[in-house]
Amino acid sequence: MTENHEHKQTFRKPYQHKQSRWWWLQNRFFTLYLIREATAVWVLLYCLLLLSGLVSLSEGEAAWSDWLNSLSHPAAVGFQMIVLTAVVYHAVTWFKLAPKIMVVRIGTWTMPERLMLIGQWLGLLILTAALLGLAIAWGA
Amino acid sequence: MLSSQSKPQRQYPRSHEPIVWSLFGAGGMVVAFLLPAAVLITGFIAPLGVAELPILSYSLALEFCRSWWGSLFILVCIVLPAFHAAHRLYHGMHDLHLRGANWLMLTVFYGGASGLACATLFYLWILRH
């Protein structure tokens, strides 16, 4: 890179391809990519739901039980079904990426992608079962 | 003289990418490994009455949020996914051609996630006092 190149006047006028706003509908790969990115919307909304629970807990017992009751509203159940789908889809794509980002080599042996994939799914299963078990057993 | 000419001292703006990407990566881990269980609890087991959850009673929930490990769990489950989502949405807006001034987009997305983090910390602090 040359010095002061930002002061040079240029007359280049490159052709700029006009991409449609709907480019991601052109093929399946693009669409799945954008669905993966869109899982973030549901994640963010779920963060806000958790925060609202924290706020109502700080407001006292009545507010807390109101929040708990609001969770059984059909809209809330439907919303959290979408969140669960989004979170699981995120996990599917995240686990697939991990062996490509982080290749594990021990000596001359390279860990096969499939083994890492199985390990992550097993980890998720064990962790989910442990957390659910802990939540149910706590104080029981 | 020569060496200073061959190595021009240019000031490049520092990229925010290393910081936000590590938060994005950590958040992605939390979303993949911890949030499924959290959503199953708040979305199915509690509202549909699949199992008794004494931990969601007012006194035990308060005790949980006041303990250091409980508040750490809550913090991790809210803040890291929020930064993860902010990073994806910041780049997703560009993908959808919804472009704005960069300082504005940075403020809205990463600023928003930081605000959420501050609010979480604030309410966890309130619960202890």
Hey, which residues 4-43 in chain B have their CB within 8 Å of chain A? 8, 10, 28-29, 31-43
B124–A139 C-beta distance less than 8 A: no
Q: Is residue B21 part of a domain?
A: no
B44–A138 C-beta distance less than 8 A: no
Whether B95 contacts chain A with CB within 8 A: yes
How many domains is chain B partitioned into structurally? Answer: 1
Report field, pTM of the whole predicted structure over 0.80: yes
Domain that holds residue B116: 58-129
Q: Is residue B29 part of a domain?
A: no
Length of chain B: 129
Whether B69 contacts chain A with CB within 8 A: no
Q: Is residue B119 part of a domain?
A: yes
Closest among A104, A16, A53, A123 to B97, alpha carbons compared: A16
Q: Is residue B40 part of a domain?
A: no
B48–A136 C-beta distance less than 8 A: no
Per-residue pLDDT of chain A (140 residues; tens, 9 = 90+): 444 555 567 788 888 778 888 999 999 999 999 999 999 999 999 999 999 999 999 999 999 999 999 999 999 999 999 999 999 999 999 999 999 988 989 999 999 999 999 999 999 999 999 999 999 999 88
Q: Is residue B32 part of a domain?
A: no
Closest among B93, B118, B119 to B104, alpha carbons compared: B93
Q: Is residue B42 part of a domain?
A: no
CA distance A36 to B112: 21
Whether B123 contacts chain A with CB within 8 A: yes
- Where residue B106 sits, what CATH number does that domain have? 1.20.1300.10
Q: Is residue B98 part of a domain?
A: yes
Q: Is residue B46 part of a domain?
A: no
Contact, A97 vs A33, CB < 8 A?
no
Q: Which amino acid is at A54?
A: L
Closest among A91, A98, A82 to A41, alpha carbons compared: A82
